[in-house]
């Protein structure tokens, strides 16, 4: 992947977000030296503890979009995320494309996961599974006082050689107000900790801080 590709994607997403008629947060219009850092999927003993260690070492914060059934399986990890000062978001009940869910099931599971997560802190945001959404889904979320968050740059570790390039590729495109989407959870995503370490070190070198979505949104113009 060429080093300029992430910059192109960032610009394209920002441009597209201005014409899509949907209440979705893609990025924050700000000159503040901050970037929104988010993680999708799980929590999981394979990735979450090491990831929390990396964030703590860099004094960084993030929003974790958690899957309901995984929170039920590992409540201690959800509690650890919150205890470290990170934000929690709703990523529905299972790791599946939310856009395929029947309307009533989507509404029920969205509410069910929010109720589950509020034991660990306030929930303001949701991210649809696989990133696809419809106006119906957004209206349903709004009735439950949730707003959708996607992002301007995204990557997923897969345990292969390309993992070594993810951090540099993200750094090539990130700018103030960007929202970065990374993925954790499975054994082959263990590299997300190293990717995050590289990303945060690079951000620090550019005097950019990594913050949770709500903190970034508060910096908007």
Domain ranges of the chain: 5-217
| Catalytic residue status for 61 | no
Q: Is 100 exposed, middle or buried (0-12, 13-18, 19+ CB in 10 A)?
A: exposed
Indicate if the pLDDT at residue 42 is higher than 90. Answer: no
| Catalytic residue status for 40 | yes
Angle 178-6-13 (CA atoms, 0-180°, nearest 5)? Answer: 55
Rounded CA-CA distance 82/90 in Å is 14
Q: What percentage of the chain's residues is helix, strand, coil (to nearest 5)? A: 45, 15, 40
Q: How confident is the model at residue 21 (pLDDT cuts 50, 70, 90)?
A: very low
- Which pLDDT tens digit goes with each residue over 171-204? 999 999 999 999 998 899 999 999 999 999 999 9
Tokens in use for 94? 């299972």
Distance of CA 142 to the CA centre of its chain: 19
Query: Is 209 in contact with 33 (CB distance < 8 Å)?
Result: yes
- β-pair partners for 181: 38, 154
How far CA 182 is from CA of 60, 78, 103, 127, in Å, comes to: 15, 17, 27, 13
Q: How confident is the model at residue 11 (pLDDT cuts 50, 70, 90)?
A: low
Q: Is 57 exposed, middle or buried (0-12, 13-18, 19+ CB in 10 A)?
A: exposed
Rounded to an integer, the average pLDDT of 94-104 is 96
Rounded CA-CA distance 155/142 in Å is 27
Backbone angles phi, psi at 64, to 5 degrees: -100, 115
Q: How confident is the model at residue 100 (pLDDT cuts 50, 70, 90)?
A: very high
What pLDDT does residue 23 have?
85
Q: How confident is the model at residue 8 (pLDDT cuts 50, 70, 90)?
A: very low
Instruction: Given the residues 40, 41, 163, 197, select the one marked as catalytic.
Output: 40
Fold assignment, 5-217: TIM Barrel (3.20.20)
Instruction: Given the residues 41, 91, 183, 197, select the one marked as catalytic.
Output: 183
What pLDDT does residue 178 have?
98
């Amino acid at each position: 992947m060429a080093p300029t590709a992430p910059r192109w994607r960032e610009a394209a997403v920002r441009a597209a977000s201005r014409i899509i008629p949907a209440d979705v947060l893609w990025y924050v219009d700000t000159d503040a030296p901050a970037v929104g850092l988010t993680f999708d999927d799980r929590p999981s003993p394979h990735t979450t503890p090491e990831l929390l260690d990396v964030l703590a070492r860099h004094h960084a914060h993030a929003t974790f979009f958690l899957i309901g059934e995984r929170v039920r399986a590992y409540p201690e990890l959800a509690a650890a995320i919150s205890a470290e000062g990170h934000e929690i978001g709703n990523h529905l009940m299972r790791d599946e494309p939310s856009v395929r869910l029947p309307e009533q099931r989507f509404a029920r599971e969205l509410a069910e996961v929010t109720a589950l997560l509020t034991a660990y802190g306030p929930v303001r945001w949701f991210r649809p599974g696989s990133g696809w959404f419809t106006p119906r889904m957004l209206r349903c979320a709004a009735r439950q006082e949730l707003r959708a968050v996607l992002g301007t740059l995204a990557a997923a570790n897969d345990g292969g050689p390309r993992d070594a390039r993810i951090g540099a590729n993200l750094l090539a495109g990130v700018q103030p107000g960007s929202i970065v989407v990374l993925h954790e959870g499975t054994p082959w995503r263990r590299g997300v900790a190293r990717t995050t370490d590289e990303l945060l070190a690079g951000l620090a070198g550019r005097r950019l801080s990594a913050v949770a979505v709500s903190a970034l949104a508060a910096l908007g113009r």
